Amino acid sequence: MATTQTALSEPARVEPAPEPTQPVRRTDLLLVAGVAVALGAVLVGIHAAGISVGYFFQPTGVFIVLGGTFGVMLVTTPRNSLINSFRRVYELGKTQEYSRESLIEQIIYYTRVARRGGIVAVEPLLARAEHPFLGQALQLAIDISNRQELQLLLENEVKLRERQGESDAKTLEVAGGFAPTIGILGTVVGLIEVLRQFSNLQAVGAGIGTAFVSTIYGLALANLLLLPAAHRIRARVAEDFETQEMIVEGVLAFMDTVHPSLIRMRLGAFLRPADARSAGRPSMDKPQPVQ
What tens digit of pLDDT does each residue of 14-57 get? 455 555 555 566 777 787 888 888 888 888 888 887 777 777 78
Q: What is the DSSP letter of 93?
A: T
Nearest to 248 by CA among 113, 146, 147: 147
Q: What is the pLDDT of residue 9?
A: 41
Contact 118, 145 (CB under 8 A): no
What tens digit of pLDDT does each residue of 237-275 get? 999 999 999 999 999 999 888 888 899 998 988 887 655
Q: What is the pLDDT of residue 195?
A: 77
Q: What is the pLDDT of residue 202?
A: 66
Q: What is the pLDDT of residue 94?
A: 76
CA 279 vs CA 15, 104, 105, 126, 231: distances in Å:
20, 11, 11, 21, 28
Q: What is the pLDDT of residue 60?
A: 80
**Maximum separation of any 2 CA atoms in the chain, in Å:** 100
Contact 279, 20 (CB under 8 A): no
Q: What are phi and psi of 58, to 5 degrees?
A: -115, 110
Nearest 5 degrees, angle CA 124-CA 126-CA 127? 95
Contact 261, 289 (CB under 8 A): yes
Domain range summary for the chain, segments of one domain joined by +: 59-92+99-269
Alpha-carbon gap, residue 148 to 256, rounded angstroms: 11
Q: What is the pLDDT of residue 4?
A: 39
Q: What is the pLDDT of residue 274?
A: 58
Alpha-carbon gap, residue 22 to 127, rounded angstroms: 13
Reduced to 3 states, what is the DSSP secondary structure of residue 143? helix
Residue type, 258: V
Q: What is the pLDDT of residue 219?
A: 92
Low-confidence ranges of the chain (pLDDT < 50): 1-14, 278-291
Q: What is the pLDDT of residue 284?
A: 39
